[in-house]
């Protein structure tokens, strides 16, 4: 019995000195990777919010387009500013699925359909 207790003590000391520090390092390394991924997701989320705010500011509350050059409010279907002539960008709706796309998009980001005669 005494021999068995001594053996258990040796195993415990081995695990405490050799195995546990390696396990702790592995957990800490995994946690560091998780933190980096969380930061990346948070950055992308914040960028999306900023982009949405900018698009909303350009569109105005009633759908009017606000000129980025002079700030004039224009009709929602206007292509150029009525005050300064600056080209106005608005979301491009897909004829197939109705999804909103960037003004310079050639293909729908939702269904892949060609937009405005893209070849």
CB neighbourhood size of 110 (10 A) = 13
- pLDDT tens per residue across span 42-83: 888 888 877 777 766 555 556 677 787 888 888 878 888 999
Give the domain range for residue 110: 89-119
First to last CA, the chain: 85
Helix%, strand%, coil% for the chain, nearest 5: 50, 10, 40
Q: Please indicate, yes or no, whether residues 53 and 18 belong to a single structural domain of this protein.
A: yes
Q: Please indicate, yes or no, whether residues 10 and 39 belong to a single structural domain of this protein.
A: yes
pLDDT mean across residues, the chain: 76
Q: Please indicate, yes or no, whether residues 18 and 76 belong to a single structural domain of this protein.
A: yes
Q: Please indicate, yes or no, whether residues 63 and 51 belong to a single structural domain of this protein.
A: yes
Q: Please indicate, yes or no, whether residues 8 and 18 belong to a single structural domain of this protein.
A: yes
- pLDDT tens per residue across span 80-95: 899 999 888 766 778 8
pTM reported for the whole predicted model: 0.30
């Amino acid at each position: 019995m005494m021999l068995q207790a001594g053996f258990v003590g040796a195993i415990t000391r081995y695990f405490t000195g050799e195995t546990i520090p390696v396990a702790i390092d592995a957990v800490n390394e995994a946690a560091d990777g998780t933190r980096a991924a969380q930061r990346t997701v948070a950055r992308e989320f914040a960028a999306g919010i900023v982009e949405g705010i900018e698009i909303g500011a350009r569109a105005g509350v009633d759908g009017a387009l606000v000129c980025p050059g002079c700030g004039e409010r224009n009709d929602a279907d206007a292509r150029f500013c009525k005050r300064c002539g600056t080209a106005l960008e608005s979301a491009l709706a897909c004829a197939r699925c109705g999804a909103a796309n960037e003004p310079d998009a050639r293909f729908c980001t939702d269904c892949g359909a060609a937009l405005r005669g893209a070849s």
